[in-house]
Amino acid sequence: MKRTQVLELPAEEIVHQREIMREFASREDRPRTYFVVTYGCQMNAHDSEKLEGMLLEMGMTKAQSRETADFVIFNTCCIRDNAERRALGNVVWLKELKKTRPEMMVAVCGCMMQQPGMGERILRQYPFVDVAFGTHNLYRFAQLMLQALQTRRRVVEVIEEEGSIPEALPVHRSSPYHAYITIMYGCNNFCSYCIVPYVRGRERSRASARIIEEARQLKAEGVREIMLLGQNVNSYGLDVEGELSFAQLLESLDQVGIERIRFMTSHPKDISDELIDVMARSSHICHALHLPVQHGNNRILQSMNRRYTRESYLDRVALLRRKIPDISLTTDLIVGYPGETEEEFEDTCSLVREVGYDSAFTFIYSPRAGTRAADMDGQIPAEVSSRRIQKLIGIQKEITRERYARYMDGVHSVLVEEISKRDENQMAGKDEYNITVNFPGTPEQIGQIVRVKITSAGESTLRGEQV
Ligand code: 5AD
Ligand code: SF4
């Protein structure tokens, strides 16, 4: 069902929230320093940049570490069990610290909080957490903090329904050269294994005019690379009548003139011919595409509710390679999905070989309460899944080596980001394919795009010399 217009929070609400931030900043009893601990995907990393924007307006400065901060906030993830356990483990660890520094404030937010019953669980089992909220009310962060300070009571607010989109919140970007732009929130796909639609709500696109304006502003500030974010960017605009399609949005953003445009994540079922054509003819869209396939077997793909087949996926890949011969493809893969037989797993291995990804993220299936797959028969024993994932990682390693060998002697453009962690005479940055490249250079080059001839390859990085 289409909306007639983009759902935005009324501007007065944001003005009101910013007043609260200033009120908070004027309080003598406010925490003075903060530390944000982030788990999970880029969407969460960008949410943390918004939290930092608000924290600075609330009159706090960033602490060197979580141990020394007056206020620590955990922005959590729940995509797999280990992400959740790690977050909760660290929250508990803070409990000890708080014993020695009782004035310290602790907050928990993000996807983990959106799961049913989590608010009550925090109240019951984690008495040292002062403030907790979910993904849908992030914009009310200052208000919840002020309430906790005023009442000296714990504040837990989780809203189940996704709301309207907050625009014009402050944001503190972690890099002056590359920036995230959210283009849409939520996901409608309900892949059988995935918790995201439950914790991030239905798809809501931001207005294209807002997105383009944000890109223009970033260009004026000297940003050289933007990453467009959404759980399924290919369905951008479909929820709003008369809105641009994703391909059209990309075309408009290409005109803005920022040197590099990337986007994630793309759902293979929605990669349109139009999108491939726009990528091929654009001046600034990187020839790199993250295209999660998840599995190589049709029975499993169907059970996962992915709505494409191995064959139709391979057709898309063939078209991409024909129209954009240098395209670098990466993917996500799941092993140990309920009922996965040895032969079905082998189909994933053969697909990986057939496509030739530059790299792949491999995951062991993790049952998530409330998703369809969690209740399926045939859950795979841990030792079988680990053996399968080890095999798959080995295969991908070999393919990465072959792919990287093709880059030898090629000249790549590298956006220089930092001094290499391994060698202070080397600089490190990302090339157009999103691969880390190291080369002998100087710190003055940080923020510049330089031409580097590739001379050798490591397991996940390239090395070269400036030309
Ligand atoms: N178990 C394992 N991996 C998962 N992913 C999503 N849900 C699960 C799950 N329950 C993986 C998918 C997705 C990536 C972000 O995380 O591969 O593309
Ligand atoms: Fe999860 Fe599927 Fe949506 Fe991706 S497309 S966020 S895997 S439900």
Q: What is the structure's pLDDT at 102? A: 87
- Residue appearing with tokens 């809105």: 243
Ligand 2 atom closest to residue 195's alpha carbon, by position in its atom list: 1
Per-residue pLDDT tens digits of the chain, which is 467 residues long:
788 888 899 999 999 999 999 999 999 999 999 999 999 999 999 999 999 999 999 999 999 999 999 999 999 999 999 999 999 998 888 888 888 888 899 999 999 999 999 999 999 999 999 999 999 999 999 999 999 999 999 999 999 988 899 998 999 999 999 999 999 999 999 999 999 999 999 999 999 999 999 999 999 999 999 999 999 999 999 999 999 999 999 999 999 999 999 999 999 999 999 999 999 999 999 999 999 999 999 999 999 999 999 999 999 999 999 999 999 999 999 999 999 999 999 999 999 999 999 999 999 999 999 999 999 999 999 999 999 999 999 999 999 999 999 999 999 999 999 999 989 999 999 999 999 999 999 999 999 999 999 999 999 999 999 99
Place of tokens 């399924």: 232
Q: Ligand 2 in contact with 190 (CB < 6 A)? A: yes
User: DSSP for 188-219?
Assistant: ----TT--HHHHH-S-EEPPHHHHHHHHHHHH
> Cα separation of 45 and 396, whole Å?
27
- What is d(CA 457, CA 2) in angstroms, rounded to the nearest whole number? 48
- By most ligand atoms within 8 Å of CB, the mutation choice from 43, 78, 194 for ligand 1 is 194
* Distance from C-alpha of 236 to C-alpha of 252, rounded to nearest angstrom: 14
**Can you give the pLDDT at residue 435?**
98
Structure tokens at 60: 């706090």
Q: How much is the pLDDT for 375? A: 96
Rounded Cα–Cα distance for residues 110 and 39 (Å): 9
Determine which residue's CA is closest to atom 2 belonging to ligand 1. Answer: 365
Alpha carbon distance 217, 259 (integer Å)? 14
Give distance in angstroms: CA of 201 to centre of ligand 1.
17
| CB distance 294 to ligand 1 below 6 Å | yes
- In angstroms, the Cα distances linking 95 to 91, 98, 129, 453 are 7, 5, 8, 50
Whether 266 lines ligand 2, by a CB cut-off of 6 Å, is no
- The minimum-distance atom of ligand 2 relative to the CA of 265 is 4
Ligand 1 mean position to 80 CA, how many Å? 7
Closest residue CA from atom 8 of ligand 1: 194
**pTM to 2 decimal places:** 0.96
CA of 196 to the centre of ligand 1 (A): 9
DSSP 103: T
Any atom of ligand 2 within 6 Å of the Cβ of 196: yes
Pocket lining: 447 vs ligand 2, CB cutoff 6 Å: no
Instruction: State if residue 41 touches ligand 2 by the CB under 6 angstroms criterion.
Output: no
Probe residue for ligand 2, chosen from 43, 231, 267, 304 as the CB with the greatest number of ligand atoms within 8 Å: 231
Residue 187 Cα to ligand 2 midpoint, Å, equals 6
- Whether the CB of 335 sits within 6 Å of ligand 1: no
- Does residue 267 line the site of ligand 2, with CB under 6 A? yes
Sign (positive/negative) of CA torsion 349, 355, 356, 362?
Answer: negative
pLDDT of residue 135: 95
Confirm or reject: Cβ of 194 under 6 Å from ligand 2.
Answer: yes
- Give 438's strand partners: 428, 463
Provide the residue type at 78 as one letter: C
Beta strand 461-466 pairing with 436-440? parallel
Name which residue sits closest to atom 6 of ligand 1, judged by CA. 194
79 in ligand 1 pocket by Cβ < 6 Å?
yes
Closest approach atom of ligand 1 to CA 79: 7
Residue 194 Cα to ligand 2 middle (Å):
6
Cα 76 to ligand 1 centre (Å)? 16
Residue 329 Cβ inside 6 Å of ligand 1? The answer reads: no
